[in-house]
Amino acid sequence: MFTLTDLELEALYLSLLVSGWAVAGSLPLGIGCAWLLARRDFPGKTLVDGLIHLPLVLPPVVVGYFLLVLMGRRGVIGSALYDWFGISVAFTWKGAAIASAVIAFPLMVRAIRLSLEGVDRGLEQAARTLGCGPFATFFTVTLPLVMPGILTGVILAFARSLSEFGATITFVSNIPGETRTLPIALYALTQVPGEDAAALRLCVISVVVAFAALMASEILSRRVQARLKG
């Protein structure tokens, strides 16, 4: 019952690979967007905020379709990538990572932004008074203080990436060994008679991995906060 087949192990590996790259690739941009929204006022800020959080309220299939139009082989961005660099992301695991990153990005930004808004600005001003430049202040003062929020955002985005289905299947389809992640593999098994046991195994694995990610987020955040408090 709980012995995984090669195809199921492959789906688990692909899910971890896609989620890891989705988070790693979007983290620098997530920190930058969170800082911009938390610390700067500029014309169109509400619009930018809305665009960043739009994937939270759009059907994932719509996000996947937009990605296909933009980054498909004949898309506006995808055609340029293919013609100039020979890179194609549609229907590959790299495209799955992009789709997962787009869907999970608002959760990451929101967690980091809330942490940034809670930082005592006086500590940053004290560092500037002591001669630290803006970049040195950010990396030596601000970034360590918002580390709990960053960890929370990273793990929430990772967990959301693991569960991504709609945008992924629309943008990169269901290709065994290439784009068939856990949710897609589970969906495929539910369409095949007699595969109830395999579907249940993948369901249990998905629950365990997601729950472990959430627990890890809570534990890491508490440890970092305790360290910051001395």
Structural domains of the chain, ranges and CATH numbers in brackets: 14-180 (1.10.3720.10)
pLDDT over threshold 60, residue 117: yes
Percent over 90 (pLDDT), the chain? 46
pLDDT of residue 55: 93
pLDDT over threshold 70, residue 151: yes
Q: Out of 68-72, 120-124, 151-155, pick the least confident.
A: 120-124
Residue 94 pLDDT grade (very low, low, confident, very high; cuts 50, 70, 90):
very high
The Cα–Cα gap between 163 and 186 comes to: 11
The Cα–Cα gap between 221 and 214 comes to: 11
Mean pLDDT of the 32-50 span = 92
Tokens of 14: 């692909």
E strand residue ranges, 6-84:
none
- Greater confidence (123 vs 112) lies with 112
pLDDT of residue 67: 94
Mean pLDDT rounded to a whole number for the chain: 89
Long-range contacts of 203-208 (CB under 8 A, 24+ apart): 204/2, 205/4, 205/8, 205/12, 206/162, 206/163, 206/182
With tokens 């896609």, the residue in question is 18
pTM of the model: 0.90
Choose among 164, 175, 167: nearest CA to 66.
167
